Chains A and B, each alone.
Chain A
């Protein structure tokens, strides 16, 4: 789960990580009010959208005075950044930057730990630094039962700074950022850029925080910040029914048991010349109610011209799955052609049950996919 920069900065403040003063605004008027209230002179207006590359898209602009701030805020609000419409901006103090650095903590898959990442090259994409000059990036794995003791934070800070005053400020910030990560179950906390101002202060100029979806059950305050897009609402609805669902743009609706098999099914549809309309993992059971709910989700997409049901019967036997499907389709009225492929335990019995129905039944994945592609694209 992602949150906005201003929400990230609120969390930073809560953990005593210095940031710039600012306020989130939903209109030009609010922006002007914030400008006055915060007593700003030079200000920055930043689009708040849950995607990267805001700067490049023109969503981050400086304003030298009050009038300019109004104009800038007006131009950014309503902007479309990678499909996200900007409905709020952060109005903040523009600080005098002396130097920019990079600091983050991330859960790393390969070291299977939290890893601290630091670089003297801040304010640019860290992936680019990693490609062009990997020697400028420092990575420090963190032992979970030890965390970040003083010595480690000091050592890390001294990789960034030469001045001891800054090392002390950096050490504190590193310790607080790690505490925030652990206590909120974040999977990434990133400050880019971490800046040293001309007055010598060390502050977080940006805040990027991602959270571990598996931990949201114990982080109600974080979960409350979730703002699902329209697409995500459909995915959430599916999740509440026990499925995992992702909307795509094709015409072949898919219903598969298991995530890996579901991905492989999508890939094969593409390989055989069709386009999958979705990813849908209905999980392990052949419960007719689940099939009914899944069909409702598939049929709510008007682009779907045919449906492929691909089930591997393991613990759940194929004859049970077939009976479940027949039961489910008594409750569903649809003209959409449906191809069913059952394999695994008792597959022959399962296919026999489907033999004299209006479903197209297939033995192999290849056969099923060839059929469903042909149904949506009769010219082939």
Chain B
């Protein structure tokens, strides 16, 4: 079992004729993901890595039954791409693109949710249910099918942690990168609930970072609703205030959003917090 995606998920790639879109469409397909269609306005009728390309998401849904989409289009086209996917009936929209105007995401996310679609990202590495479906830019070979759910605001830090988990024999049910922007689609609380409800998940690893108070809110939620063990790691303990640490959302502003506050909240909620990534599998083993 898993959350959000599995071997039956049918994926359309928006922006499939671009450099990143074509590269990752091929990688996802190679992993075993059912990439059924590509979308690129004006390039309808082309074939990319044996994947048919359409002018509209609507065609990808109607002709090839796409139910999920992944977006690689440049930042200025993301708002339109998310709304197009939602309008076409796509139910899960994953946005990889970095540097999207925040007000565009605010609008597109509202539109998508009014159409009953979920959004993941932007500025995220996507998600994976190991052995079944990879929808994103993650290196599939480091993942192992298993029963630990992973949620993270970061890309390579997730790989580092997953690599440690896999090396310790701890497989993953689903791993989701929620992205590093201040406004994003699905967030910690939504995913914690999904993992709690998933019979294929026994424990949860949650990786946060400085900025905002989503980790504190997640801590409150863990205390009240989550009965499965949670191990966490928070990046950015040494980050200076008012500096954006790579991710647009990773900034300590007006003294709030510090790693210390987040760690304290998580510990108070009964989660274990690792001091370094390599400690995560060790803590997890003590809780299982």
Question: A residues near B, CB below 8 A?
Answer: 52, 107, 109-110, 112-114, 127, 143-145, 182, 185, 187, 212-215, 217-218, 244, 246, 248, 256-264, 266-271, 276, 279, 281, 312-315, 343-345, 364-366
Q: Contacting chain A: which of B35-43, B95-103, B222-230? A: B95-103
* In the complex, B111 has a CB within 8 A of chain A: yes
Contact between B237 and A259 (Cβ–Cβ < 8 Å)?
A: no
Contact between A214 and B111 (Cβ–Cβ < 8 Å)?
A: no
Q: Which residue of B lies closest to A127 (CB)?
A: B254
Apart from A112-B184, A185-B102, A314-B142: 19 A-B pairs, beta carbons within 8 A: A109-B182, A112-B106, A112-B110, A114-B103, A143-B110, A144-B103, A145-B111, A187-B102, A213-B244, A214-B99, A261-B235, A263-B209, A264-B276, A266-B236, A271-B276, A279-B246, A312-B159, A315-B137, A366-B278
Contact between A264 and B137 (Cβ–Cβ < 8 Å)?
A: no
6 contacts between A and B (CB under 8 A): A109-B214, A212-B102, A215-B103, A266-B239, A267-B237, A344-B159
Kindly list chain A residues whose C-beta atoms are within 8 Å of the C-beta of B101: 185, 212, 214-215, 218
Main secondary structure, interface of A, reads mixed
Shortest Cβ gap from B21 to chain A (Å): 14
Counting chain A CB atoms within 10 Å of each CB, the highest count among B27, B111, B152, B156 belongs to B156
Contact between B238 and A312 (Cβ–Cβ < 8 Å)?
A: no
Contact between A345 and B141 (Cβ–Cβ < 8 Å)?
A: yes
Shortest Cβ gap from B86 to chain A (Å): 13
Alpha-carbon gap, A257 to B139, bound state (A): 14
Alpha-carbon gap, A344 to B164, bound state (A): 10
Kindly list chain A residues whose C-beta atoms are within 8 Å of the C-beta of B212: 109-110
Contact between B156 and A312 (Cβ–Cβ < 8 Å)?
A: yes
* In the complex, B138 has a CB within 8 A of chain A: yes
Shortest Cβ gap from B227 to chain A (Å): 24
Kindly list chain A residues whose C-beta atoms are within 8 Å of the C-beta of B236: 263, 266-267
Q: Which residue of B lies closest to A126 (CB)?
A: B254
Contact between A260 and B106 (Cβ–Cβ < 8 Å)?
A: no
Kindly list chain A residues whose C-beta atoms are within 8 Å of the C-beta of B27: 315
Q: Which residue of A lies closest to B114 (CB)?
A: A145
Alpha-carbon gap, A259 to B210, bound state (A): 11
Kindly list chain A residues whose C-beta atoms are within 8 Å of the C-beta of B110: 112-113, 143-145
Kindly list chain A residues whose C-beta atoms are within 8 Å of the C-beta of B247: 259-260
Contact between A263 and B245 (Cβ–Cβ < 8 Å)?
A: yes
* In the complex, B157 has a CB within 8 A of chain A: yes
Q: Which residue of A lies closest to B242 (CB)?
A: A51
Alpha-carbon gap, A276 to B137, bound state (A): 29
Known A-B contacts A258-B154, A276-B238; A314 and B159 likewise in contact (beta carbons under 8 Å): yes
Kindly list chain B residues whose C-beta atoms are within 8 Å of the C-beta of A263: 154, 157, 209-210, 235-236, 238-239, 245-246, 250
Shortest Cβ gap from A229 to chain B (Å): 11
Looking at chain B, what size class is its interface with the partner chain? 35 or more
Kindly list chain B residues whose C-beta atoms are within 8 Å of the C-beta of A217: 75-76
Contact between A214 and B278 (Cβ–Cβ < 8 Å)?
A: no
Contact between A315 and B139 (Cβ–Cβ < 8 Å)?
A: yes
Known A-B contacts A109-B249, A343-B160, A345-B141; A246 and B152 likewise in contact (beta carbons under 8 Å): no
Question: B residues near A, CB below 8 A?
Answer: 27, 75-76, 99-103, 106-107, 109-111, 137-139, 141-142, 152-160, 163, 180-184, 207, 209-210, 212-214, 217, 233, 235-240, 243-250, 254, 256, 259, 275-278
Known A-B contacts A110-B217, A270-B238, A315-B27; A259 and B103 likewise in contact (beta carbons under 8 Å): no
Known A-B contacts A144-B103, A213-B248, A314-B139; A264 and B160 likewise in contact (beta carbons under 8 Å): yes
Taking a contact as CB atoms closer than 8 A, the residue among A244, A264, A279, A313 that contacts B157 in the complex is A264
The 7 closest A-B pairs by CB, nearest first: A260-B154, A259-B246, A258-B156, A260-B157, A314-B139, A263-B235, A215-B101
Shortest Cβ gap from B205 to chain A (Å): 13
Shortest Cβ gap from A2 to chain B (Å): 9
Q: Which residue of A lies closest to B256 (CB)?
A: A127
Alpha-carbon gap, A182 to B106, bound state (A): 11
Shortest Cβ gap from B235 to chain A (Å): 4
Contact between A259 and B278 (Cβ–Cβ < 8 Å)?
A: no
Kindly list chain B residues whose C-beta atoms are within 8 Å of the C-beta of A365: 160, 276-278
Contact between A267 and B238 (Cβ–Cβ < 8 Å)?
A: yes
Alpha-carbon gap, A110 to B183, bound state (A): 8
Known A-B contacts A263-B239, A279-B239; A145 and B107 likewise in contact (beta carbons under 8 Å): yes
Contact between A260 and B239 (Cβ–Cβ < 8 Å)?
A: no
Kindly list chain A residues whose C-beta atoms are within 8 Å of the C-beta of B246: 244, 258-260, 262-263, 279, 281
Taking a contact as CB atoms closer than 8 A, the residue among B100, B245, B277 that contacts A279 in the complex is B245
Q: Which residue of A lies closest to B217 (CB)?
A: A110
Known A-B contacts A212-B103, A343-B163; A110 and B213 likewise in contact (beta carbons under 8 Å): yes
Contact between B183 and A109 (Cβ–Cβ < 8 Å)?
A: yes
Shortest Cβ gap from A358 to chain B (Å): 26
Alpha-carbon gap, A261 to B141, bound state (A): 19
Kindly list chain A residues whose C-beta atoms are within 8 Å of the C-beta of B259: 267
Kindly list chain A residues whose C-beta atoms are within 8 Å of the C-beta of B244: 213, 244, 246
Kindly list chain B residues whose C-beta atoms are within 8 Å of the C-beta of A109: 182-183, 212-214, 249
Alpha-carbon gap, A141 to B106, bound state (A): 12
Alpha-carbon gap, A163 to B6, bound state (A): 60
Alpha-carbon gap, A239 to B22, bound state (A): 26
Kindly list chain A residues whose C-beta atoms are within 8 Å of the C-beta of B278: 364-366
Shortest Cβ gap from B221 to chain A (Å): 12
Kindly list chain A residues whose C-beta atoms are within 8 Å of the C-beta of B207: 260
Kindly list chain A residues whose C-beta atoms are within 8 Å of the C-beta of B239: 246, 263, 266, 279
Alpha-carbon gap, A127 to B237, bound state (A): 23
Kindly list chain A residues whose C-beta atoms are within 8 Å of the C-beta of B254: 52, 127
